[in-house]
Amino acid sequence: MGQIWHHANEDKAMLKEQIELYDLNIIICCGAGDIVSNLQLIENIGKFKSTANGILLLKMKTTCCPTSAPTM
C-alpha cells in the first residue's frame, strides 16, 4: 500500500480533477478507500458502506441509477 499511497499523494490534484470531471455516482475503492478519505480527494465525503462481501463503496449521489427503463 506504500507505493499506492505515495503515487496518490503525488498525483492528488489530478485525481481530484478526474473525480470532479467524471461526475461519479459511486466509487468502489478495492482496499484504497482510506487514501480517498485521508487525501480528501472528495469534498464533503460521506461514510463508506460495505457490501455483504466486504467491498467498500462510497455512494456519491442519492439518485444514481434508474430502476426501470424509460417509456416511449
User: Domain-by-domain residue ranges, the chain?
Assistant: 2-59
Q: CB of 54 within 8 A of CB of 20?
A: no
Q: Report the alpha-carbon distance of residue 72 to residue 53 in Å, rounded.
A: 37
**Average per-residue pLDDT for the chain:** 76
The pTM score is 0.59
Helix, strand, or coil (residue 57): strand
Task: Say yes or no to pLDDT of 19 above 60.
Answer: yes
Helix, strand, or coil (residue 38): helix
Across 1-16, average pLDDT: 89
Place of cell 503515487: 7
pLDDT, one tens digit per residue, over 47-64 is 777 888 877 777 666 555
Q: Report the alpha-carbon distance of residue 70 to residue 60 in Å, rounded.
A: 23
Helix, strand, or coil (residue 50): strand
